[in-house]
Amino acid sequence: MSREAPYAGLDPERVLDAVDAAGHAPDGRLLALPSYENRVYQVGLDAGGFVVVKFYRPGRWSDAAIAEEHDFAAELAAAELPVVAPLSCAGHTLLRRGGFRYTLYPRRGGHAPVLESADTLAWLGRLLARVHEIGARQAFRARGALDVESFLRQPAAAVLASGLLPAPRERVYRAAIARLDAVLGARFDAVAPRRLRLHGDCHAGNVLWAESGPALVDFDDARMGPAVQDLWMLATDAIAMEQLLEGYEQMRPFDRAELALVPALRALRQVHHAGWIAARWHDPAFPRAFPFAGEARWWDEHLADLEALIDSLE
């Protein structure tokens, strides 16, 4: 494999071979699931049913960081929380085959939650409070934290190094990032939130809803951070946030000073998203999936959004 095409050697035969090597005989059915950072497939089994196999992007996480992801999911599952945790194969959850690291998961059915429902939001709030109660028991050591360094400075450096940002916009972009750096640092210092182990990317696409209620999937972005990070992407407005917190505070106290971090977290997510595209532009899947990132108009819109967020924060 190469940096330019990290999954070039991952053809269907190798996917099926990896599942077979893990002790699950595939029947040949293979469906690629939406994922850009990793490669994820649903595979049918001779014994009936399906497994989901995730191949980790080379070089992104260390083995220790992946082990922390798996251990956290397993810890939540052991506490009978509805999460989709990795399957153990001969005592291991992180497997290797053909130069790739991969993990198997059980397939879980469900659909996206209806976030317009107060009952749904309260249920999700209770679930996240239970996740955070366990997440607060210890710290990640290898997975890092949601902070200005990793979600602002590093992504901005990737944008500037990528050649995607039109040269006439570089000065404006650098100035915007510098302003954001100052204002976000001040905002986090003022709130001084307690950091705990989080899901990290808790949006509607990572929640599966069934008759039994919600289940959390995809802990690939689990990090240390403030509790509100797992709430704000599910709340479309202030009323929805209150409905989430109504459920959350039934199970665990919430420091409402963290609500002041929501605009800051939104800004970090926007910068990180642009930096993520820029850092992955060498992967052939990214220009195909995000062609707008090669257009000056999109960067103008990105800068306008950043300026508006900075004004609101200042």
Catalytic residues: 201, 218
CA distances from 262 to 91, 188, 244, 265, 268 (A): 40, 11, 14, 5, 10
Give the rounded distance of the alpha carbon of 144 from its chain centre: 13
